């Protein structure tokens, strides 16, 4: 699969992975704090959260989630009490001094605050300090105690079970943002997920669709030992809480940047607006921009014996199919149905019009780009099997053997279920995101005779027996082994004798 390089590939650290490594001194310190300070802090934090609950519950009684109401004097008193209680709670948790730079704009000046990087549930600190509304999933309302505190700030709830949820959420954000400051400001984390703060991932469009001025807000946690980051692969929620409460002090900085007023072009082009704000925030943080987005997290975290090696082309493909709605419609059942249709084509290649008919869409610029990714020979024709393998890879990136099985169904001989060497090479090129896969060495290693054919069962058994199948038995362009001097066993920073 080709790449147009219209989107940067991942470089440096994976933003969805957080690894903690402790020195012996840090381990001793955490051990001592665990039996002395941690229990006290946990007790105080729990007490103050419980203390805040009746205030939030009383203030939420009889209040509409959709109609703005004048803030009565007793609700203003409760608001002050809650801010004091929540600040005391964070203080007991080790966030003794929270440095605030800049000035928060008023709701009429900037109805939306865009906050980044989003890396932890401790990012709730600026929310409790300002009592701004947030965008959150509906299920959070049912969390004991904390759910009542969330309801108090009148968030925009996302109904994930509703197919039309995204449109309704955007409409509610627009309605509140265009109220002229009558509604509280909405604090939005445009990354849409937690990262390790190694860079800013692509912003979601929700905060920028209204086309109104926004105020960027950047967060920093200057601790040398990062115990606050809570990502998709790394320490769990309770471990993060335990390690953070075991730190003598947890510094935090909140900086309100100047209000960003969109140009007419940015109002019309939401992606441009979002990306320009992201650039401003990245510059203030001194962080790089990354081409990854929330929708790419599973691809970048792919695991298994055939995990993705080069993300570039598959990330570009994922962006396009998400834009076309093809990713949302994907399911294993639909993939099997498409694979069955592709098999009947018997390798016949399709032009753009036939491809559009196959996926039941009209020809658009995005669909044309998808088609061009698989135009291997530059003649305007593509093999639908390649498209289905790529779609299965991004749909279930950590279930590579399922994708491999699906691919074999499209290529295998009806007589004996075998797949030719050149067809297997094409399959692996797409699944791994690499180029020029060479399999002659692998076929020779099977039984000493190069037959050039293999069944799914034989390949699966071989992969199960050889943990480092890709590193040791495949050859392709820019293979990690090519960069090594010496034995291939030590390539790619891995030791085959070490338990991982």
| Main-chain dihedrals φ then ψ at residue 49, nearest 5 degrees | -65, -40
pLDDT score, position 27: 95
360 and 274, same structural domain? no
| Bridge-based pairing state of the strands 252-256 and 186-188 | unpaired
Q: What's the pLDDT tens digit per position in 200-238?
A: 999 999 899 999 999 999 999 998 899 999 999 999 999
450 exposed, middle or buried (CB, 10 Å; 0-12, 13-18, 19+)? middle
In a domain, 126, yes or no: yes
Which single residue is written with the structure tokens 């090594």? 484
Which single residue is written with the structure tokens 């692509």? 202
Q: What's the pLDDT tens digit per position in 281-302?
A: 999 999 999 888 888 888 989 8
What is the rounded CA–CA span in Å between residue 481 and residue 337?
38
388 and 359, same structural domain? yes
- Of 116-120, 256-260, 484-488, give the lowest mean pLDDT range: 484-488
pTM of the model: 0.84
What is the residue range of 108's domain?
24-291
Average pLDDT, the chain: 88
CA 452 to chain centre: 40
Work out how many domains the chain is built from and give that number: 2
pLDDT score, position 442: 86
Mean pLDDT of 416-426: 92
421 exposed, middle or buried (CB, 10 Å; 0-12, 13-18, 19+)? middle
302 and 265, same structural domain? no
- More confident position, 286 or 74: 286
484 and 415, same structural domain? yes
Q: Name, in order, each residue with C-beta under 8 angstroms of 142's C-beta and a sequence gap of 6 or more.
A: none
In a domain, 454, yes or no: yes
Q: At what angle do helices 24-35 and 37-60 cross, to 10 degrees?
A: 60
In a domain, 37, yes or no: yes
147 and 197, same structural domain? yes
183 and 54, same structural domain? yes
321 and 197, same structural domain? no
Question: Are the C-beta atoms of residues 123 and 161 closer than 8 Å to each other?
Answer: no
pLDDT score, position 140: 82
306 and 264, same structural domain? no
287 and 302, same structural domain? no
191 and 252, same structural domain? yes
369 and 313, same structural domain? yes
pLDDT score, position 49: 94
Mean pLDDT of 34-48: 96
Of 239, 257, 291, the one marking the end of a domain is 291
């Amino acid at each position: 699969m080709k790449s147009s390089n219209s989107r940067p590939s991942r470089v440096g650290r994976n933003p969805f992975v957080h690894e903690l490594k402790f020195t012996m001194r840090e381990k001793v310190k955490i051990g001592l704090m665990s039996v002395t300070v941690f229990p006290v802090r946990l007790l105080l934090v729990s007490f103050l959260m419980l203390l805040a609950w009746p205030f939030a519950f009383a203030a939420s009684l009889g209040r509409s989630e959709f109609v703005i109401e004048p803030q009565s004097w007793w609700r203003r008193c409760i608001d002050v009490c809650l801010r004091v209680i929540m600040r005391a709670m964070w203080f007991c948790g080790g966030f003794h001094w929270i440095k605030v730079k800049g000035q928060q704009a008023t709701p009429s000046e900037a109805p939306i605050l865009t906050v980044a990087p989003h890396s932890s549930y401790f990012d709730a600190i600026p929310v409790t300090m300002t009592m701004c509304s947030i965008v959150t999933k509906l299920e959070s309302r049912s969390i004991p105690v904390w759910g009542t505190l969330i309801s108090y700030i009148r968030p925009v709830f996302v109904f994930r079970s509703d197919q039309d949820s995204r449109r309704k959420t955007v409409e509610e954000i627009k309605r509140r943002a265009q109220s002229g400051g009558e509604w509280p400001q909405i604090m939005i984390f445009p990354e849409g997920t937690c990262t390790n703060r190694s860079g800013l991932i692509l912003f979601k469009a929700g905060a920028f669709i209204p086309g109104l001025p926004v105020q960027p807000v950047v967060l920093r946690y200057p601790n040398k030992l990062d115990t606050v980051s809570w990502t998709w692969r790394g320490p769990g929620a309770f471990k993060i809480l335990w390690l953070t409460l075991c730190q003598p002090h947890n510094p935090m900085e909140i900086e309100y940047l100047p209000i960003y007023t969109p140009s007419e072009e940015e109002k019309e082009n939401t992606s441009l607006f979002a990306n320009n704000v992201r650039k401003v925030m990245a510059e203030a943080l001194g962080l790089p921009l990354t081409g990854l987005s929330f929708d790419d997290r599973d691809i970048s975290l792919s695991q298994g014996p055939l995990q993705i090696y080069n993300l570039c082309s598959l990330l570009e493909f994922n962006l396009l199919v998400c834009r076309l709605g093809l990713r949302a419609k994907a399911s294993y059942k639909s993939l099997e149905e498409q694979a069955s249709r592709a098999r009947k084509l018997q390798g016949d290649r399709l032009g753009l019009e036939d491809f559009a008919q196959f996926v039941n869409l009209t020809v658009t610029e995005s669909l044309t780009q998808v088609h061009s990714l698989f135009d291997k020979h530059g003649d305007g024709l593509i093999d639908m099997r390649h498209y289905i393998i790529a779609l299965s890879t991004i749909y279930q990136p950590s279930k590579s053997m399922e994708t491999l099985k699906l691919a074999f169904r499209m290529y295998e001989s009806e007589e004996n279920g075998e797949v030719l060497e050149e067809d297997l090479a094409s399959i692996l090129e797409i699944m791994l995101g690499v180029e020029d896969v060479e399999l002659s060495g692998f076929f020779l290693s099977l039984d000493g005779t190069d037959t050039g054919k293999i069944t799914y069962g034989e390949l699966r058994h071989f992969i199960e027996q050889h943990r480092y199948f890709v590193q040791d038995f495949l050859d392709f362009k820019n293979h990690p082994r090519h960069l090594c001097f010496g034995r291939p066993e030590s390539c790619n920073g891995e030791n085959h004798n070490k338990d991982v």
